[in-house]
Amino acid sequence: MPPSVGLVLPAFRPDVDRLASYVEVIREAVGPDEIRVEVDDPSPETEAALAELEVTVNAVPYRRGKGAAVTAGFEALGTDVLAFADADGSTPGASLAAVLEPVVAGDADLAVGSRRHPAAEVATHQTFARKHMGDAFAWLARRLLTVPLYDYQCGAKAITADGWASIREHLYEPGFAWDVELVAIAGALDLRVREVPIEWRDAPGSTVSPVRDGFRLARALFAARHRAKQLSNSRVHTAIASRREQPTALVEKE
């Protein structure tokens, strides 16, 4: 019997028509056992429209951030494989299926979609500023983390339920930096990580700010490296952590 698959779509004030179209694409290409929309700060009209999609919707009246939303969705799923994709539909259905494939087949614990892999196809490009911010971040992350990837921030990833159980209590980043923290902790715990080249269609209206979020991502990268080193029993990083007040994990905030 194939493993069950649950998919989370984190959304902040989404374009409901685009989201509805993407849900149908996912159903046709992936056929997940459950689709769960984690939506932040929706208007009453958006909530009403989402109720028509025949998916599980969890709406909160404030902005949690992508990482907190995906974490809440994964915690609510009871499937063998957990996945998420950005709700704007930037990852086509076939590419999302490709990301799921190594995890469903048992060949990886965590699969990471990649827009920057040499075999990836970028159908529509990001703005100049976002692209170069992403390139610089990926370059730095490859040098700081034990998992060398072309792309850490792509909005399409899948993980086994067992992998999630081992990682969940070590995640702290509520926003976009959650992705790199997930990969860093997976590497520290010796999970099998597979990078999967995808087709990418950059969607307009991104809420990522190249300047503001660039600094946040950089800080979060060093924090993720620090936590990963702790888990790898680094004496230096363990000593540093012992002198600091420890943050609260996302799962403990739920």
Q: 72-88: per-residue pLDDT in tens?
A: 999 999 999 999 999 99
| pLDDT given at position 212 | 59
pTM: 0.90
| pLDDT given at position 243 | 62
| pLDDT given at position 215 | 78
For the CA atoms of 116, 118, 124, 128, the dihedral, rounded to the nearest 10 degrees, stands at 50
Checking if the pLDDT of 205 tops 80, the result is no
Q: What percent of the chain has pLDDT over 70?
A: 87
- Give phi and psi for 56, each to the nearest 5: -75, 130
Domain 5-253: which CATH number of 3.40.50.720, 3.90.550.10, 2.40.50.100, 3.30.460.80: 3.90.550.10
| pLDDT given at position 206 | 53
| pLDDT given at position 237 | 58
Checking if the pLDDT of 160 tops 90, the result is yes
Distance CA 124, CA 107 (A): 30
Give the tokens for residue 70: 């995906």
Average pLDDT, whole number, for the chain? 89
Mean pLDDT, rounded, for 189-197? 97
